[in-house]
Amino acid sequence: MPNILETSREGRVLRVTLNRAEKRNALTAELCRLAVASLENAFAAPDVGAILLCATGKHFCAGMDLSEVSAATADSISDAQERLFTVGSWAEKPIVAAVEGAALGGGMGLVANCHIVVAHPEASFGLTEIRVGLWPFLVYRALSAGLGERRVLELSLTGRVFGAPEAKEMGLVQEVAPDPQTRAAEIASAVSQFSPTTIRSGLRFTRDVRGQAWEAAGRIARRMRDEVFASSDFQEGLRAFVEKRTPNWPSVHA
């Protein structure tokens, strides 16, 4: 029986692949837990600089596997999905997604938690939970942070499905490409070569300043900039710039 989640290494990129093509990669509690475990391991591994999230088959992810849902399993499913659907708020390494086919409901929420998204021109997106009497509770925060509450409210109320061009226009997708997996892999590889210390600080900064007053956000920015200034990675970056060479980041080998 094939694994429902597959991982492989490509240089400093960890490829995480949803592998339930026969179910349009619908999310079970087990799949959510496996995905979270893979991401946590990747964030802790110094030889991983970025994560590439993709899927097998024709569709990225059709959302929650409704066949698994019952009153008895609700808590287990919610716990597993809560961690996955908030990964964007605790990730300390960049996540690049390659989206083909449909990313609906929780699938769209998973996309919203990635930092860079490349979609096929015929990819489709939507918060379709309302059609089965549900609301996108767990993905709503991540989508609102990225797209704005009014936009997410409209999508939640209508359940409409929209294409990659509109997704790019609203900021859910950064790039549309005919071969999203290849293009996303190129981006992930490029990003993985930058300073782990600086990327970790930058991702923490975007999390810590969210919702802060202007003055408080400024204090956080100054403190974190001073920390990066004092880091060995920044010192190496300066030397490499002057010497016109590729930096050899100390934090990669820490």
Q: State the Cα–Cα distance between residues 122 and 5, nearest whole angstrom.
A: 24
State the sign of the Cα–Cα–Cα–Cα dihedral 190, 195, 199, 200. Answer: positive
Where are the strands (E) in 41-182, listed by range?
Answer: 50-55, 95-99, 102-104, 116-119, 124-126, 161-163, 175-176
Name which of 101, 162, 96, 99 is nearest 127 in CA terms: 162
Number of helical H runs and strand E runs in the chain: 11, 9
Pick the catalytic residue: 129, 149, 215, 227? 129
Distance CA 207, CA 172 (A): 18
Known catalytic residue at 129: yes
Positions marked catalytic: 129
